[in-house]
Chain A
Amino acid sequence: MNIKKIELFFFGILFSMLAQLGHAEAFHPGGAPGTQTIDGYNALGPKVEQPIEFPHYTHANVMKINCMYCHTYARRSAVSGIPRLDKCIGCHKMIPEVRDRPRIKKLFWYWDNHISIPWKKVHDLPDFVRFNHERHIQRFYFQDKRPVREVCGYCHGDVANMTTARRVKAISMGWCIDCHKKDHQISKVNLKTTNGPNDCWMCHK
């Protein structure tokens, strides 16, 4: 039986409402071509233009500086924060040979004018999600004594091989839960395993 025009009209409205509900973006299991994250999830983060192209590769890979030397708040606070400007300057004052490079000149311009660098957020969780950096760093870095690049890399990827950081992990709820479901050995001595918490309120509070 053919559908009457008026019925088609109402179905059209219903369809468009449903489409809006779930965004008009098409669904690609495993990610649309070119947008998979390194662990096979959907939606690789965009390339983010930063005011200064900070070379993570030079600092973390070539110079072998511990991530937490600069990102010092990660082990102390729920948020990792961005390194304070005087931290950058503290070292770079002592390295006159790179002072004339464009990025370093820009850095000192901000310092001389006492202006905070307007970095763009690369890993920006929605406001209803509360991720605690301190808890994860204390557990895996200080308690399990795993390498810092591995620990930070669980969520941030291998930043030490990037210039400006890009989101390469999905950081979606399913992705978080996958990790929380895994059995993590309590310590090298205690062979029992434990999982991350799965309470809604642990993250949504």
Chain B
Amino acid sequence: MPVKKQESIDTGERAMAAEKRPIVERRDFLKILGISGAAATLAGCGNTSIESGVEKVQSYVQPEDFVVPGNSVFYASTCTQCPSHCGVMGRVREGRVLKLEGNPNSIISNGKICGLGQASIQLQYNPDRLTTPMIREGGKLVTASWDQAMKIVNDGLGKDSRIKGNEIVFLTNSVSGHQKVLINNFLESYDSKNHIAYDSLSTQVGDQVRENIYGYTNPVHKIKEARLILSFGNDFLGAGVSPVYLANQYAQFRKAPRGTLIQIEPRMTLTGGNADRWYPIRPGTEGVFALGLANALIQHPEYDTTLPTELTESLKAYDKYTVGQITGINPDAIGHLIAMMWEKTPTLVLSGLSAEGHQQGYQNAYAIELLNVILGNVGKTVTAPMENPFPQMTHVNGNYQGLVALNNQLDAKNVKVLFMMGVNPVYTAPAFIELKNKLSNVPLKIAMVTQLDETAELCDVVLPLLSPVEEFGTHLASYQPEAIEIGIQQPLMEKLHAHTKSFGDVLLTLLKERDEKSYSKYPDYYSYIREAVVKSKPVFKSTLSDDDFWDSALMNGVLHVPLKEAQIDKVKIESVNLPKVETHPEDVNYPFYFVPSVKADMRDGRHANLPWLQESPDPMTTVVWDSWVEINPKTAQDMQVREGDILEIKSSMGSVLAKAYLFPGIQPNTVSIPFGQGHTAYGRYASNRGVNPFKIINPITDEKTGELALFATRVQVTKTALNEKVVKDEGPTTLQQGRKLVATMAADKAELSKEV
């Protein structure tokens, strides 16, 4: 080749020249080097980096008139990263979605968006996205065409209605809107109602309590109206039911006259970090402390609510010394808190996951909610949600009972076809369920995913779905604070991968197999959604034409049902639901409480595939990309544990190893590991990183609701000989970098009523 020839000539000439070269004096050599070096550097300052004629620049063939290359266009849509379903605006340029912002039309997001929403862009461009269907052949998943995959699904379902009722299961996470409607229609076509919603971090216990007391699962908590909030482990600023909306409310709550936030929890959450006073409490005793407060409140001269006598009598057992002994909180704190509660009205009392995830979780939440009743908050800061005219689209909250239902059906070996969408039970199910083994008994398992996760890897057919920014959809948030808001989801760009499909299109295809007559009029999911939304026009009292109504829905991104306020008619209190006054016995074998933390970004691990979230420092510890064990510095000192020492956390279900992080915001006899890491699959960013605390959760459930008691596990902590650097942003030292940047004081020493 000419180039090689040239090279060989050059090399030859150089060799010949070298032979004739005179011996170079050092001074001369440096002169030569100086000139040549300068010349080489100057050549680099030219415009050699301009690559004319290399890259392509392609024009639009026939764009919309408003499209200007280089200028962004914003489209409204709805975030699907968590059940809050914030309205979002996608910034789109040259056909690519680049950034998401909040949609100002949305009551829930009010023009703002959280980190989860921001990172959803990375679902779209994730290099590990599943781009073609996969089927199991010879025990391995191999790529296949849609025809091949759907043939297996249809054969499994049986065209002649061989599959019926409980033989088919549709397992999803919390769903709402037309996704839910289509799932139910699909199951109905097989005479089945077997839609199971499973959420590993469910709020079912608290929901059940509120349902029983007020008649509403999700009453509205008017944070900005309150002057004092007493929160029992409710992380409403972090991983709450609607963090963006509630953070906005919180900002207004903190404006003058500044509201006071008091947080009571065993391990400091993000909300706890923002509180004026933070009380560490022995895990599981939150209800006892609430009843201690209730007992003190009803003895106050200003108290005028009539509680059942039976209840007031039983409250007397919760005197401050008994409560202090059980909860580990200084008995005087009750007096301080009561004084503030009467002074700063209206108040609001919230229960959260760490108070509800216990054997007596229901009783705990019940006792906490009782405070709202005694303080007269019902109708003021605790109000009824708006009336929802679309019950078929209402949000279905997933819960642990979903997993139990699935487990029972798997045990009975009834299930012949199992569909899964938006869930990863193999990762989130506790080890004692042994789900992985039980799933092998199901003849046909179908996962609909955007990335191969632990569950999808075990399935027989894996169908690649569109990412949320390529999809149509409608969503009703689980928490509807000021009006019923329907979030309209629309594609922000064309699909990236040719062989991915919308969830709705897959279900419509399956439905057409069963009921061609009813569904043939919908060529695709878009037409189905469009017709469904347009049909609902009368509810919104719109005078627009069908086309204009649809266009306005897409442009606004949300539809608001005209206000139809409901009220909490009656409050039903039962004295039987009080947590028992009994000292929590120490467990000699497992002396530590295990309180796993729910991070605002990772949640139950479903977002571990997003590198922006992995690299976002945890707000409390600043650790990134890993798991860690939070341990109180005093405990660590007793055990001679330094930061980075690998600790073995062992429960009766198993053990995990993680690095120690000395964290003052945790009870001395408690350790914590965040949920979310420890994936064995789910792409390059999630897999083989950290540990999965779900696997050491003990088989303890709430006595009343049957929900898994996530915070009731006891563990033993053993120091190993290993130490690894904890990767964190806060610098080499913990505790405010060794300087007292923010003054803190032991809560029992502070005179709250004077200082706050």
Contact = CB atoms under 8 A, between A and B. Distances in A.
Interface of B: 23-26, 29, 33, 36-37, 39-63, 68-71
Interface string A22-34: 1111110000000
A26 B43 contact: yes
A84 to B, nearest CB: 5
Given A27-B39, A81-B70, A167 B52 contact: yes
The interface residues of chain A, by DSSP majority, are classed as: loop
Given A18-B40, A19-B40, A25-B43, A84 B50 contact: no
Nearest to A3: B26
Identify which of B29, B54, B68 gathers the most chain A CB atoms within 10 Å of its CB. Answer: B68
Contacts of A85: 59-62
Given A84-B60, A117-B58, A124-B52, A172 B46 contact: yes
A124 to B, nearest CB: 5
The 9 lowest CB-CB distance pairs between A and B, nearest first, are A48-B53, A22-B40, A81-B69, A172-B47, A22-B44, A79-B70, A77-B70, A82-B59, A45-B52
Given A77-B70, A124-B50, A119 B43 contact: no
A200 interface: no
A167 B50 contact: yes
Given A24-B40, A121-B55, 16 more contacts: A21-B41, A22-B39, A25-B48, A26-B43, A27-B42, A43-B48, A73-B69, A81-B68, A83-B59, A84-B59, A85-B60, A121-B54, A124-B51, A124-B52, A124-B54, A124-B55
Contacts of A48: 52-53
B69 to A, nearest CB: 3
B47 A170 contact: yes
Contacts of A115: 61
Nearest to B47: A172
A78 B44 contact: no
Interface string A6-43: 01100100110011011111110000000000000011
A62 interface: no
Interface string A111-140: 100111111111111100000000000000
B56 A118 contact: yes
Interface in A30-71: 42-43, 45-49
A182 interface: no
Given A27-B42, A78-B70, A121 B62 contact: no
A77 B25 contact: no
A56 to B, nearest CB: 16
A26 B62 CA distance: 46
A180 interface: no
Interface string A169-199: 0111111000000000000000000000000
B35 to A, nearest CB: 10
A89 to B, nearest CB: 9
A189 to B, nearest CB: 31
Nearest to A45: B52
A182 B23 CA distance: 51
A203 B56 CA distance: 23
A1 interface: yes
Given A116-B58, A118-B56, A23 B44 contact: yes
A2 B53 contact: no
A145 interface: no
A105 interface: no
A3 B29 contact: yes
A67 to B, nearest CB: 16
A113 B37 CA distance: 54
A11 B61 contact: no
10 contacts: A18-B36, A26-B43, A43-B47, A49-B53, A73-B68, A78-B70, A123-B52, A167-B52, A171-B50, A173-B47
A122 B54 CA distance: 8
Contact of B40 (A21, A117, A125): A21
B52 A121 contact: yes
B52 A116 contact: no
B59 A77 contact: no
A120 B54 contact: yes
A107 to B, nearest CB: 12
B557 to A, nearest CB: 25
Identify which of B50, B58, B71 gathers the most chain A CB atoms within 10 Å of its CB. Answer: B50
B414 to A, nearest CB: 52
Given A120-B54, A121-B55, A2 B23 contact: yes
B94 to A, nearest CB: 9
A76 interface: yes
Nearest to A84: B60
A1 B60 contact: no
Contacts of A116: 58-61
A31 B33 CA distance: 23
Contacts of B56: 118-121
A122 B53 contact: yes
A86 interface: yes
A23 to B, nearest CB: 5
A122 B52 contact: yes
Contacts of B69: 73, 77, 79, 81-82
